Amino acid sequence: MTTASNQVAQFSFEELDALFGEYKSFRRIAIGVSGGVDSMGLLYLLKQWAQDVGAAAPELYAFTVNHGLRAEAAGEAAGVAQYCTRLKVPHEILNWVGDKPSSNIQSEARDARHALLRQAAEHQGCEALVLAHHLEDQAETFLTRLARGSGVYGLAGIRKQRELDGFHICRPLLDIKKERLKAALEASNVQWFEDPSNEDEQFTRVKFRQAQQELDALGLTTSKLADTAHRMARAADAIDAWVDEIAEKSCTFHSAGPVRFDSSCLEYLPDEIGLRLIGRLVRYISGAPYVPRLAKLEGLYETLKRTDGARAATLGGVQFVLAKPLSDAVWFCFREAGRTGLSEVNVSPGDEGIWDRRWRYKAEHSCQSFRITSVQNALCGDFELEIPVNWLKTAFLTAPLIVFASGVSYMPWKKIGRTAADAAVRSKTDGISMVPVSRTF
């Protein structure tokens, strides 16, 4: 290896600490390791940094997802496990079971991978999941979203850190080129595996990757594309700060999940601010990880702006109902039940999980089994519920309901009173926790 190549391969302690230093606040972190050059590079660098930092570093725990889409995947996962044994880093292989999609494979596999990684990471007590997206990934994301016609938020690209319900998703390598990770592994004789799908031209990302040399000649280098994404992210943050102020004045949030929204604010807001406000409402109420696509969001936005238009609209699993005849501008926004209603889950003592993407339940100290459903599913819409003033009864039909085998039911978002019946409910709900997945609007 030449002197120049060796310099590229080397990461100083100062550089590693700049990449990973903020993780000292975590007790344990999970690392997603597919076996490719980027994730193996991440694992190698994190281990090197942790050794240099010593006791102040978090514990490392590695996970590899076998999607079951390629025959070689099992052997690659085993190879990652062997390398983790060398590094003395605990490692688990997670298998994606069940039917596999016939279309939109990369997107479906990504969603399944992220869900498996987070679930396993939290089970092992990890406070954060660290992923190996690098500079080229950022550039490809920018181009892919540009081709879709994305706005400011889509073009902001991949964020270095996101917090979801107290759990952190971290991508520290977004400013590092893939070739540098490869050089670091080669210098230390660390092997990695090549995924043939990374060269499959049926995938949009691969097409952009292969066109990068031509883009470089036009000045659209990966560094410049990533820089633009960073600047768009700054603009998105500024918009969000404005949206936070507007939401505080125009939205009333109920603990059961619905929101009452005064759309008169849209008359004076710039469209970009109004669109983001509506998009975040949809994400918040539905429990979806992302806001809807911009093209769909624009249609809903125009509906909510009109004072003489439709009285109801639906997007992303969220229903908007105008409060007429009370007002021409107040909308009740709530989770839509859909034609088949919301799913139910049977919970045994000790179980934990998420219901309808919106509520996290734990029965860690419960001595009884129960069922989680929606108010509408269990009581067919005919239920006794003290509706707060200026709220719509229908908006609470998709709120969660806990039902015990005895038939006793409990709405976890309501306060339990002091009557004899309430006392009986309190005794049954001891050891049961059910809280919103995230209260971040």
Known binding positions for ATP = 34-39
And the tokens for 93? 């292989």
Closest among 249, 309, 294, 242 to 270, alpha carbons compared: 242
Closest among 225, 224, 244, 248 to 236, alpha carbons compared: 244
Phi, psi of 344 (to 5 degrees): -120, 160
What are the binding residues?
34-39
And the tokens for 66? 């076998």
* Cα separation, 294 vs 208, whole angstroms: 22
For the CA atoms of 51, 52, 55, 57, what is the dihedral angle to 10 degrees?
Answer: -80
What are the start-end ranges of the H helices in 191-253? 204-210, 212-217, 222-250
And the tokens for 340? 């088949």
The secondary structure of residue 363, as a DSSP letter, is -
User: Which is it for strands 409-410 and 400-404: parallel, antiparallel or unpaired?
Assistant: antiparallel
Closest among 284, 313, 310 to 296, alpha carbons compared: 313
Coil, helix or strand at residue 60: strand
Give Cβ neighbours of residue 160 (< 8 Å, ≥ 6 apart): 170, 171, 172, 174
User: Which is it for strands 251-253 and 259-262: parallel, antiparallel or unpaired?
Assistant: antiparallel
Cα dihedral sign, 353-105-33-6: negative
Coil, helix or strand at residue 294: helix
